Structure 1
Amino acid sequence: MNANLPQTPLPYKVMAIYKFADLPDAEAIQPVLAKFCCARDIRGTLILAPEGINGTVAGTVEAVDALAGWLFAGEVFGGRLAGAEVKYSTAIEMPFLRMKVRLKPEIVTLRAPEANPAKSVGTYVEAQDWNSLIERNDVVLVDTRNDYEVGLGTFQRALDPATKSFTEFKDYVAEHLDPARDKKVAMFCTGGIRCEKASSYLLSQGFEEVFHLKGGILKYLEVVPENESRFAGECFVFDERVSVGHGLVEGDATLCRACRHPLTADDRASADYVDGVSCAYCVGEADKHAAAAERQKQMDLAKLRGAAHLGDDAAKLASRRKAEKRAQAEASRERNRAD
């Protein structure tokens, strides 16, 4: 099996990263990390917490490579991110509107102190070994992602916890899994981070053998040929690409701009779907539709002008126009004083 499937060179490089690491200085690191990224026009979201780092960013190849070098070999982190789980892909357009570095209590929120990946996690399973594991009859396969993610695609035979947020996963375990019955549990998520905590949590609850897909669905789609794949559909990603498929190519899914629910081609064929305004998942929420309709109107007008409406590009344009107006006003005052 190839190390990775070939990807078409595209203008933007996307880096997804996470690492559970001891970062008691996360608050001090935040502005330094933000400054480094913004100086190179890198965009996306990185989460810092005392337990580590998590996030996805994009930029030019040179910018993202510089960030990777700074994270892994720079003095700020001092080698604490060595061995981080990192996945690279590409994008036709910049998939993020702005750069955000956020401080949070956890890099993935479960609110279960007993789940500590720094102390114990399940058994990592490489992507190329995943098929043989999940095809076993004595293995319970669980998708740890939320319902809207599962709706776009999942592994065959996987159980769907139908959670709205990861914090609900604890309730699912208590109600549907039993360590006395479910001797072998295999789990997966988008990039691997949720499974780190989920596997640690299951071990704390007395489950004996817990497995999780190393690198998550993204790694699986990167290295497993489509004709050997057990993954059906597309994988939801948290950026403007919305979803990716085998080889990490951009998928067909879009977002409802009113409720942010991912939409398949069938969803967009619904009578309740209005581009940029509404979909079948938020059909009864008129207040969201009004705001979305106005937003779509402004985006369409900005597009006609060839200008950005959202994100850092819009902020830069607004700042430039403001500076131009100030300069014009100052020039006018100078002319008046001369007269």
Structure 2
Amino acid sequence: MKKFLFNRYDKETLKKKVLEDKRERRVISFYRYVKIEDPIEFRNRLYDTFDDLGILGRIYLANEGINAQFSIPIENYQALRSFVDTIPELKNIYFNDAVEDKKESFIKLAIKVRKKIVADGLDDTQFDPSDVGTHLSPLAFHQALEEEGVIVVDLRNNYESEVGHFENAILPDVGTFREELPLVEKLLEQDKDKKILLYCTGGIRCEKASAYLKYKGFEKVHQLQGGIINYAKAVTDHGLTSKFKGKNFVFDDRLGERVTEDVLTVCYSCGKPSDRHTNCANLGCHVLIVQCESCSETLLGCCSEECKEIVQLPEEIQKQLRQELRKQKKYPTHHLTRKMVGK
């Protein structure tokens, strides 16, 4: 019988399957910039075995490499290690184990072929992406943070850094990595001779960013190996006080791993301290916001009273609103509500 190399189930069925599976799971991420000659063939080979191992998550492949975030039944962890080590492009790849696990972090396996494994907006033909900065272990990075005159740069988006970041770090106010590199270059244009410490969630954005900054003339570029995920585990294992405060935003259903108890931001709805991320329940909006549980309950999981009004409409009307939104491309869905329901 031919095996399907893609998901065939709807969301509710997938959630049910995950919850019914009693096996304990572990969330893992890994990445590597490496030449992959045939990403489609590579994708199908991975999917076949990953599916057999019960892996659920997102893996992006491109000619430039692999970027993976997923969960796996702990009983299959060593089998995964053995399998990836048989693949030359992945041999000895570093597994970044999550600080916190949640059974339903992922509900399906998706392996996608893209032009790039991270959307950085760079022309890689202009510089050598393999000429990266100096990798620092979490403990070496921890010590370097105490050095006088070092510059620490957060290479994540603003919605990630607002809920957690290293003390005294530069936090670029941008919504995408594509926007970030030109801004960081501009912010540091007078500091090309200073020691620069870069960090991100798991390390992949630092790889490309450090190579880019070296190409632009920065002399002392260093990066946190394994990112915040690796740092949080290391300081816990060694009984150190974390210099990263708050939560580490992650791109799965958890939306965050708590590193320290510090709450660095407030609920967008009421202004009370909160670092709980959620997406607006109105699918025509679906904006990512920080919202406390109380406001989320009051607003039915929505970002505003307008969106709350929409989610209480019949599903068919909600679909019409979303279709109209896509046509206009410039109005939030709730701006169309009164027109379409006759209010």
TM-score normalised by the chain length of structure 1: 0.72
- Coordinate RMSD, CA, aligned: 2.8
Partner of 2:288: 261
CA shift for structure 1 position 181: 5.0
Please give the alpha-carbon distance, in whole angstroms, between the structure 1 residues aligned to 2:46 and 2:313.
Answer: 36
Say which of 78, 97, 117 aligns to 1:88.
97
- Give the conservation status (yes or no) of the 8 Å contact 2:106–2:253: yes
Please give the alpha-carbon distance, in whole angstroms, between the structure 2 residues aligned to 1:254 and 1:20.
Answer: 30
Work out whether 1:34 is the aligned partner of 2:47.
yes
Per-residue CA shift, 1:280-305, capped at 9, x if unaligned? Answer: xxx3873x97359879xxxxxxxxxx
Q: How many residues align?
A: 271
What does 1:165-180 align with in structure 2 at a 5 Å threshold? 165-178=176-189
CA shift for structure 1 position 271: 4.8
Please give the alpha-carbon distance, in whole angstroms, between the structure 2 residues aligned to 1:100 and 1:176.
Answer: 37
> Quick one: which amino acid aligns to residue 17 of structure 1?
F
Structure 2 CA distance for partners of 1:155 and 1:37, relative to 1, 3 Å: same
Partner of 2:129: 117
> Quick one: which amino acid aligns to residue 117 of structure 1?
P
Partner of 1:326: none
Partner of 2:118: 108
What does 1:138-217 align with in structure 2 at a 5 Å threshold? 138-178=149-189, 183-217=194-228
Please give the alpha-carbon distance, in whole angstroms, between the structure 1 residues aligned to 2:109 and 2:152.
Answer: 36
Q: Which SS does the other structure have where 1:224 is aligned?
A: helix
Q: Which SS does the other structure have where 1:110 is aligned?
A: coil
Structure 2 CA distance for partners of 1:132 and 1:240, relative to 1, 3 Å: same
> Quick one: which amino acid aligns to residue 99 of structure 1?
L
- Give the conservation status (yes or no) of the 8 Å contact 1:179–1:206: no
Partner of 1:321: none
Please give the alpha-carbon distance, in whole angstroms, between the structure 2 residues aligned to 1:152 and 1:294.
Answer: 35
Gaps of 5+ in 1: 1-9, 296-339
> Quick one: which amino acid aligns to residue 138 of structure 1?
G
- Give the conservation status (yes or no) of the 8 Å contact 1:115–1:198: no
Say which of 243, 246, 260 aligns to 1:233.
246
Per-residue CA shift, 1:298-332, capped at 9, x if unaligned? Answer: xxxxxxxxxxxxxxxxxxxxxxxxxxxxxxxxxxx
Q: Identity rate of aligned residues, in percent?
A: 29
CA shift for structure 1 position 99: 0.8
Gaps of 5+ in 2: 1-22, 261-273, 316-343
Structure 2 CA distance for partners of 1:60 and 1:197, relative to 1, 3 Å: same
- Give the conservation status (yes or no) of the 8 Å contact 1:21–1:52: yes
> Quick one: which amino acid aligns to residue 106 of structure 1?
K
Please give the alpha-carbon distance, in whole angstroms, between the structure 1 residues aligned to 2:309 and 2:115.
Answer: 33
Please give the alpha-carbon distance, in whole angstroms, between the structure 1 residues aligned to 2:218 and 2:313.
Answer: 49
Work out whether 1:16 is the aligned partner of 2:29.
yes
Please give the alpha-carbon distance, in whole angstroms, between the structure 2 residues aligned to 1:292 and 1:254.
Answer: 22
Per-residue CA shift, 1:256-283, capped at 9, x if unaligned? Answer: 24435253xxx3167577465313xxx3
Structure 2 CA distance for partners of 1:262 and 1:126, relative to 1, 3 Å: farther
TM-score normalised by the chain length of structure 2: 0.71
Please give the alpha-carbon distance, in whole angstroms, between the structure 2 residues aligned to 1:292 and 1:84.
Answer: 48
Structure 2 CA distance for partners of 1:20 and 1:156, relative to 1, 3 Å: same
Structure 2 CA distance for partners of 1:211 and 1:37, relative to 1, 3 Å: same
Work out whether 1:61 is the aligned partner of 2:61.
no
- Give the conservation status (yes or no) of the 8 Å contact 1:256–1:275: no
- Give the conservation status (yes or no) of the 8 Å contact 2:199–2:224: yes
Moved more, 135-144 or 267-276: 267-276
> Quick one: which amino acid aligns to residue 166 of structure 1?
F
Please give the alpha-carbon distance, in whole angstroms, between the structure 2 residues aligned to 1:126 and 1:289.
Answer: 50
- Give the conservation status (yes or no) of the 8 Å contact 1:18–1:54: yes
1 or 2 for the larger relative contact order (CA 8 Å, sep ≥6)?
1
